Structure 1
């Protein structure tokens, strides 16, 4: 009973907020003609939004998501309210189809909108207004929707759907980036390219809001935004291996720690920061002899890391004996 009351309150508040936005029509002049995908991994339950546009900072208005709830892409002549208000309605008990149908029905500017929504259960809905600039269309598939407007040709959206269906072996983030790359290869935005974004949220609700997005990457202005987005995703994965290595060290699982560190270094062999903190972690776990060559390599490349090392004991980040500390600084 309490859950039903809570859901009713969320829906009622959402209704008032949405009606106010629709009546004022405050978002009519914002636009992001673009291509995007909303998708869900059927195995992990993770949900993602990925987008590219020839418009500055497309990720700031197009992509929305909340763990355990769903994801939204709102584009063309953008009404950003579809994002937060759509997520509120889904969280309140409506599915993606019901939510999008309602929001479109009260939108005075619906003819120039393009929106896609996906909820945590895998239901998907998409809408392309009849006045969206051609080539404009969408395809709703199994746990995903791909949509685009102002494209060079009508091959872009089918190429996106094909890429998603064919890359089932990839993690969700890498899979949706492949979809964007396929869109660009098929012709992409008729104006060119400028910005891109990717968010991935969890299958289940999270306790703290800062844990909501598993991946949150934006390329606001770049001559090759998709290549940069792909690079940033690789950096994200490398640091994820580094963090897992640290956790394994804390659990005294040296074999797993070294495996994770090696994976990180293989992805970015010239990254001094990854090497440095690996050395610090080894030293803190009584593996000084393994750490010393790494410290030496880092210090040789940049003496500022040695200066930083002098400051770590006071902050409790390097816990070694005075003799061991001297060994490190003498490198």
Structure 2
């Protein structure tokens, strides 16, 4: 009896004074997370997106649900995936977004502990904040805007208004605007209990899979900065690929301009430095390419495995310390030949391939690469002969098969 009275006293105390997340979680056995999010639809790009942050781990695991062409749901506080599962089914049946959310809410005995927002295929929005969240410490509410919703719990007072204003004024892609809004909320005070994880997901009907965004920072002391870095990496990689395409096609001016904007965006991602080096060589900036190789080797000693792709720079004195210590295997020579092809040095690639074929006469792949170089030079007969020789040596060389189709 005493234990029961004590539990009731503690529960009443937490309700009256809003002790926040942890005590209700312990007493009620519920997965209560102090969280804030923004959900939005971009009509022009036909994208749906959600950005969310919390003071718990892996916030993106159970708060973000998007089906391009149908809509999106964000479920926070005490999360419950059924809101999204049932919500999408209701939208498929033609129900409005309000009814799609209320369908589960009416059947949910714990709806008073939840916050749910939703948006349909046309940008119509709806949200609710559970009645019990008003007893939690901090501010718990939501704001509806034109094709967007911001909501959160255990927040400082001006967080949601800051997020809303930021989103309305922001420029850029939907992902960029969502993240700007989330960061604005944090700068306005964020959650009273701190920060630990953040996530950003954007999906659209017009996107290829590799352009869709699903970025998560599951545990960090600086989740907002880390999420911004990941988004920079995403767009930086796209820009570098575009710059490479321009440079390979002879558009040096625009390629160099795009490359200059992309390089700062991928700072620290040494896995992408190989493409940066290729682009600098194509741009006629061999010194900058060499500097990036030195930078990569300083940041990650294992980057030496990429050196073979830049065999054409092995004669430089400032890189000799790296190349002299490197022992080329047969597959490294493949990379060396391919590296020359990728920077439009096809004649040099053929010379190197011919040398390596003398050393590795049974190499199907060297003949395939020779075919690629001949093809780039417009020598179709020799390209075909090289591909056929590659298949003769290895009937399972799929790349050679495709080249001959």
| Equivalent residue for 1:296, pick from 272, 290, 293 | 290
d(CA) in 2 for partners of 1:92, 1:312: 57
Structure 2 residue 101 is the aligned partner of structure 1 residue 103: no
Q: 1:281 to 1:158 in 2, by over 3 A?
A: closer
| 2:200/2:214 contact within 8 Å kept | yes
Within 5 Å, which residues of 2 pair with 1:85-164? 85-132=86-133, 133-134=136-137, 135-151=139-155, 153-164=156-167
Shift of 1:150: 1.8
Q: 1:324 to 1:191 in 2, by over 3 A?
A: farther
| 1:155/1:186 contact within 8 Å kept | yes
d(CA) in 2 for partners of 1:249, 1:67: 34
Tell me: higher relative CO, structure 1 or 2? Use CA pairs within 8 A at least 6 residues apart.
1
Structure 2 residue 172 is the aligned partner of structure 1 residue 182: no
Shift of 1:82: 1.9
Shift of 1:257: 3.5
Shift of 1:261: 2.2
Deviation per residue, 1:143-169 (Å, 9 max, x gap): 100101122x332222222222232x2
SS in 1 for 2:132: coil
SS in 2 for 1:191: coil
d(CA) in 1 for partners of 2:256, 2:93: 45
| Equivalent residue for 2:216, pick from 199, 208, 218 | 218
Q: Which protein has the larger Cα radius of gyration, Structure 1 or Structure 2?
A: 2
Deviation per residue, 1:193-233 (Å, 9 max, x gap): 1000001111x266x8x45x721111111112112212221
| Equivalent residue for 1:229, pick from 227, 230, 254 | 227
d(CA) in 2 for partners of 1:272, 1:193: 28
- State TM-score, norm by structure 1: 0.76
Q: 1:267 to 1:130 in 2, by over 3 A?
A: same
Q: 1:250 to 1:104 in 2, by over 3 A?
A: farther
| Equivalent residue for 1:267, pick from 265, 268, 273 | 265
d(CA) in 2 for partners of 1:191, 1:73: 21
Question: Aligned pairs, how many?
Answer: 289
Q: 1:186 to 1:265 in 2, by over 3 A?
A: closer
Deviates more, 1:94-103 or 1:72-81: 94-103
d(CA) in 1 for partners of 2:126, 2:262: 38
Within 5 Å, which residues of 2 pair with 1:72-87? 72-87=73-88
| Equivalent residue for 2:243, pick from 242, 245, 249 | 245
Q: 1:317 to 1:91 in 2, by over 3 A?
A: farther
Q: 1:229 to 1:271 in 2, by over 3 A?
A: closer
Partner in structure 1 of residue 32 of structure 2: 31
| 1:69/1:205 contact within 8 Å kept | no
Deviation per residue, 1:106-156 (Å, 9 max, x gap): 2221111100011221111101110123521001111100101122x3322
| 2:82/2:104 contact within 8 Å kept | no
Within 5 Å, which residues of 2 pair with 1:57-72? 57-72=58-73
Select the structure that is richer in helix.
2
Deviates more, 1:60-69 or 1:114-123: 60-69
Gapped runs of 5+ residues in structure 1?
1-27, 327-331
d(CA) in 1 for partners of 2:163, 2:195: 16
Partner in structure 2 of residue 12 of structure 1: none
d(CA) in 2 for partners of 1:267, 1:259: 14
Shift of 1:87: 3.0
Gapped runs of 5+ residues in structure 2?
1-28, 298-302, 311-327, 354-405
SS in 1 for 2:212: strand
d(CA) in 2 for partners of 1:244, 1:89: 41
Deviation per residue, 1:238-267 (Å, 9 max, x gap): 112112234445666554433332321243
d(CA) in 1 for partners of 2:73, 2:262: 32
| 2:236/2:265 contact within 8 Å kept | yes
Partner in structure 1 of residue 363 of structure 2: none
- State TM-score, norm by structure 2: 0.63
